[in-house]
Chains A and B, each alone.
Chain A
Amino acid sequence: MEPKFNIGTAGWSYKDWVPNFYPKNQSAGFDWLQFYAHYFNCVEVNSTYYSYISPKVVDGWIRKVENTSDFVFHIKLHQDFTHKRKYDEQNIKAVRYNLEQLKKSERLGGLLIQFPYSYSFDGNSVQYIQKLRNIFSDVSCFVEVRHQSWNNNRALDFFKENDLTFCTIDQPQIGRAIEFNPVVTNDKAYIRFHGRNAEAWRKSLANFGKPQTYEEQSSRYNYLYSPGELVEIEQKIKSIQHKVKEVNVIMNNHPQGDAVANAFELIHLLEGKRKVDMPQTIVKAYQRLEEIQ
């Protein structure tokens, strides 16, 4: 049986998606999330990583996606839990409240728990993840670990035993980056695409910690996947899709709307080459989309 595909982008609020996705002339009532949810059935929320979002804001999101019946939000866990690893009961409550609110209205996809690159596989890390699993035991957890030490059977068994989804990432092949290869550890797959802009990625690593403009920060994600790369990606995802009930694909190559264009192309490829409903703005900006609309 075909799994359910949730294909979307990491965030929806990017000024530089105007006019390539969001139209230039917007009426007073025009809402970006509402527009986004007309075309996609999921989004990854990254603002929750930087701050504890007010429940009112979450309530607003739920209302705005009302017309897309199966739309879900994947919530990125706050950095206090993953990078600083210092949190208290209040922090837990703040996260849990929003998760429960989304869950009650059937809008929660899962919780993305992204650790820094330096987070390696050892007894302490395993225990720590287990602790988080216990705190968020009633939601789907997608765990992103990027250190190569996790690339072994014992680590994968740990994920399987704790019903955690091993988050697969695609990023430029520099240094000891793991090659894109979807891994299955439970009944869901979560795949994130960061683009393959090796040069900007290297530059960004060199400037890590220094103050940067939005453009400088974003430049490492500035990448449009080519048709050949997409068909390779399609083949790899299809090789694991029979093992899961749900495949989540998140495009994070956001500058200028590349993520949106590639997300539409992956919907076409992964969902039986179906014609895709797209706004004319994106077709105009990315002419190769004409073939799939």
Chain B
Amino acid sequence: MRTIFHLDLDAFFVSVERILDPKLNDKPVIVGGDPKYGRGVVAACSYEARTFGLHSAMPIRTAYKLCPHGIYLHGHGDEYTRFSQVVKNILEQYAPLIEQASIDEFYLDMSGTQKMYGSMFGFATRLQKEIWDKVGLPISIGIGSNKTVAKIGSDCMKPKGITYIIPGMEKEFLAPMPVETIPGVGKVMKQSLNNRGIYVIADITKLPSDYFGTAFGKYGIDLWHKANGEGTEYLTIQRTRKSISRETTFDNDVTSEEELRNTLFYLTGKVAQSLRKKGWEASTIDIKLRYTDFQTLTRSKTIKPTDDDKIIFETAWDLMKKARTRRVGVRLIGVGVTNFSVLSEQEYLFEDYEVKRKKMLRAVTKVRDKFGYESLIFGRTQEDKKLKGMENYFQIR
């Protein structure tokens, strides 16, 4: 079961305008165009303006008729982009995976982070407070087992609301809501459903999926699944970081297998340290090998997610041995990891050895974080000491 957050910045454009000009607080503010010229639509409006019946996408001319005393602004596009990025930067500190759905909406996959952050509702409260304290923007959060439910949740108690939909209760949670609550159900679809006597989501789930398939095709089937609390569990991933890797170019080309092995071991240690510091595991291990004539090879292998030096090294060394088929000097080697997931302790509950090793590695990470990487070196070989001076050549990709 996954834990998906949907974060929606409340009346985002208006909130930013109020930071730029605090005099707009508590007033009906409409961003989107100049009613004098009667063009354009409402891009965003404050909650005060909504009480007059205004909503996003309404023609500005109609908005003006309903709320002539409102404050109409063209907006500051650059500032919206900046504030959105600032919020994203905060989210990146906590969330292993983020999907930015629009300028004011984010999905976070927080699965497996309960051990780190405690109760998800409590974490959402802290996150909401941090964004308010640091940036001054109100945000609503929905927490659910999939994207659809989380999105509906974030819309439930705006502004500054947090809604946690208990896993397994999705269908019950949605049942009493009007059909247009489901993302994608617009005016036309709503009317079409209402004409069939379908007003609330429970009305959809009472009917078989075939009914909707026949009436609306694939979209109808999809609607029926959503009404039942089902939805996409996986984000359209823009990983916060694409890869963690280290590589080194040798002062003199290397032919000794032992030296290559020692160097790879050292580089792997650095990669695993970075990985553990972030609390992540990786499931794809990459190596890079460049011969003296600049021929460059890369190889990768996908394994069970890990953050363990030993496993990463053994996989990388195996790849390196298979890749290195020529008897010429090696100019550069590198190791990297991709395909991140958040450390999941549950999987190791009954594996004593792995649990102990994980605890040991975590302790190593903490010591190195405090006293520097060199404070603790795994005792594979004394050659590591020679490698100390190589730091200058490491690059982060």
Residues in A lying within 8 Å of B, measured CB to CB: 153-154, 157, 226-229, 231-232, 235, 273, 288, 290-291
Q: How large is the interface on B (under 10, 10 to 19, 20 to 34, 35 or more residues)?
A: 20 to 34
Say which one of B81-89, B167-175, B314-322 lies at the interface with A. Answer: B81-89
Residues 130-142 of B, flagged 1 when their CB comes within 8 A of A and 0 if not, give 0001110000000
CB–CB A226/B20 < 8 A = yes
Q: Within 8 Å of chain A (Cβ to Cβ): is B376? A: no
Q: Within 8 Å of chain A (Cβ to Cβ): is B14? A: no
Minimum C-beta distance from A180 to chain B (A): 13
* A contact residues around B19 at 8 Å (CB): 227-228
Q: Chain A interface secondary structure, helix, strand, loop or mixed?
A: helix
CB–CB A288/B20 < 8 A = yes
From A153, A154, A228, A273, give the contact of B83 (CB < 8 A): A228
Q: A290-B22, A291-B22 are in contact. Are A228 and B395 (CB under 8 A)?
A: no
Nearest to B85 among chain A residues (CB) is A232
* A contact residues around B85 at 8 Å (CB): 232
CB–CB A153/B392 < 8 A = yes
* A contact residues around B76 at 8 Å (CB): 226, 228
- Extra pairs beyond A228-B82, A288-B20 (12, CB < 8 Å): A154-B392, A226-B20, A226-B79, A226-B82, A227-B19, A227-B20, A228-B83, A228-B86, A229-B82, A231-B134, A232-B82, A288-B22
Nearest to B81 among chain A residues (CB) is A228
Interface residues of B in 33-84 (CB under 8 A from A): 76, 78-80, 82-83
Minimum C-beta distance from B181 to chain A (A): 33
Q: Within 8 Å of chain A (Cβ to Cβ): is B335? A: no
CB–CB A232/B86 < 8 A = yes
CB–CB B22/A228 < 8 A = no
CB–CB B21/A228 < 8 A = no
Minimum C-beta distance from B71 to chain A (A): 16
Minimum C-beta distance from A224 to chain B (A): 12
Q: A153-B392, A153-B395, A154-B392 are in contact. Are A235 and B86 (CB under 8 A)?
A: yes
Nearest to A236 among chain B residues (CB) is B89
Minimum C-beta distance from A184 to chain B (A): 15
* B contact residues around A226 at 8 Å (CB): 20, 76, 78-79, 82
* A contact residues around B20 at 8 Å (CB): 226-227, 288
Q: Within 8 Å of chain A (Cβ to Cβ): is B16? A: yes
CB–CB A231/B135 < 8 A = yes
Nearest to B393 among chain A residues (CB) is A153
Q: Within the assembled complex, what's the spacing in Å between the Cα atoms of A226 and B16?
A: 11
26 contacts between A and B (CB under 8 A): A153-B392, A153-B395, A154-B392, A157-B392, A226-B78, A226-B82, A227-B19, A227-B20, A227-B79, A228-B16, A228-B19, A228-B76, A228-B78, A228-B79, A228-B83, A228-B86, A231-B82, A231-B83, A231-B135, A232-B82, A235-B86, A235-B89, A235-B90, A273-B133, A288-B20, A288-B22
Residues 13-27 of B, flagged 1 when their CB comes within 8 A of A and 0 if not, give 000100111100000
Minimum C-beta distance from B333 to chain A (A): 18
* A contact residues around B134 at 8 Å (CB): 231
* B contact residues around A291 at 8 Å (CB): 22
Interface residues of B in 73-127 (CB under 8 A from A): 76, 78-80, 82-83, 85-86, 89-90
* B contact residues around A153 at 8 Å (CB): 392, 395
* B contact residues around A231 at 8 Å (CB): 82-83, 86, 134-135
Minimum C-beta distance from B332 to chain A (A): 16
Shortest 7 CB-CB contacts between residues of A and residues of B: A228-B82, A228-B79, A291-B22, A231-B86, A227-B19, A228-B83, A232-B82
* B contact residues around A227 at 8 Å (CB): 19-20, 79
* A contact residues around B90 at 8 Å (CB): 235
Q: Within the assembled complex, what's the spacing in Å between the Cα atoms of A290 and B23?
A: 10
Q: Within the assembled complex, what's the spacing in Å between the Cα atoms of A288 and B23?
A: 9
Minimum C-beta distance from B228 to chain A (A): 41
Q: Within the assembled complex, what's the spacing in Å between the Cα atoms of A229 and B76?
A: 12
Nearest to A273 among chain B residues (CB) is B133
Minimum C-beta distance from B195 to chain A (A): 46
Q: Within the assembled complex, what's the spacing in Å between the Cα atoms of A231 and B90?
A: 12
Nearest to B395 among chain A residues (CB) is A153
Q: Within the assembled complex, what's the spacing in Å between the Cα atoms of A291 and B83?
A: 18
Minimum C-beta distance from B296 to chain A (A): 21
Q: Within the assembled complex, what's the spacing in Å between the Cα atoms of A288 and B21?
A: 7
* A contact residues around B135 at 8 Å (CB): 231
* B contact residues around A157 at 8 Å (CB): 392
Residues 185-221 of B, flagged 1 when their CB comes within 8 A of A and 0 if not, give 0000000000000000000000000000000000000
* B contact residues around A228 at 8 Å (CB): 16, 19, 76, 78-80, 82-83, 86
* A contact residues around B82 at 8 Å (CB): 226, 228-229, 231-232
Scoring B16, B20, B82 by chain A CB atoms within 10 A of each residue's CB, the highest score goes to B82
Q: Within the assembled complex, what's the spacing in Å between the Cα atoms of A288 and B20?
A: 7
Nearest to A230 among chain B residues (CB) is B82
* B contact residues around A229 at 8 Å (CB): 82
* B contact residues around A154 at 8 Å (CB): 392
Q: Within the assembled complex, what's the spacing in Å between the Cα atoms of A291 and B18?
A: 11
Minimum C-beta distance from A159 to chain B (A): 13
Nearest to A239 among chain B residues (CB) is B89
Nearest to A291 among chain B residues (CB) is B22
